[in-house]
Amino acid sequence: MQTRAGVARVEGARLDEASTTGLSQTRSCGERRSRCLAFDPRDPPRAGHCIPGAESTLEVVRQMAGKMRDERLAMARDPETRRRLTDAERLLSRSVIPAEADEVRAAVTGLLCHYPDRGVPSELMPAVLRDWIDDLGRFPPDIVRAACQVWRRGDNAYAPAPGQIIALAEPIARMREFYLRAQLEKS
């Protein structure tokens, strides 16, 4: 495991990075959290389960995706189907909002603290974290956290590279994009 000095260095780099970018770690994210999907570590998103708890909402999108345009229009005339489609559209729109820098930073620093110190000088940690933010910032925050959780819970004795976390996040993001495209094509 990483030494306390190593953890302090990672945490110190996170705070240094926050001050250099003007982001405050104590900033209230209440409004943003209400727009993004919540992360439940007991039921994280996965490729086959890309929005936990939304299976029934997404079912109508799956049904519509397999229909011809005329069939989709007929289905959309039903008030219950229309309500479910509206719910799906809202949910899918929220599910693809990219993570902010402080959300990626928190997930990555939390992940890296579980592994041995890789010998990165403390003055370079802000640049390393910026690279992680650049690489993972296109994913929604719940997907970033889920990918970090999968790595941490796996049989990994070393810290990942950003590409390894991207490989875990990519299938979940693709499924969400598939549902969003299918939803947009319904009309």
- Contacts of residue 177, Cβ cutoff 8 Å, sequence gap at least 6: 96
CB 136 within 8 A of CB 108: yes
pLDDT category at 49 given cuts 50, 70, 90 is: confident
Which string of b and e fits 98-137 if b means at least 16 CB within 10 Å? bbbbbbbbbbbbbbbbebeeeebeeeebbebbbebbebbb
**How would residue 164 be classed by pLDDT, with cut points 50, 70 and 90?**
very high
Considering the entire predicted model, what is its pTM?
Answer: 0.73
pLDDT of 7 over the 50 cut: no
Taking Cα atoms as reference points, which of 167, 111, 141 lies closest to residue 40? 141
In contact, 54 and 91? CB cutoff 8 Å: yes
Looking at residue 68, what is its pLDDT? 67
pLDDT digits (tens, 9 = 90+) for 106-126: 999 999 999 998 888 999 999
134-143: pLDDT as tens digits: 999 999 999 9
Q: How confident is the model at residue 18 (pLDDT cuts 50, 70, 90)?
A: very low
Q: How confident is the model at residue 4 (pLDDT cuts 50, 70, 90)?
A: very low
Report helix, strand and coil shares of the chain as percent, to nearest 5. 65, 0, 35
CA distance 20 to 149: 27
CB 158 within 8 A of CB 115: yes
Across the range 125-148, mean pLDDT stands at 96
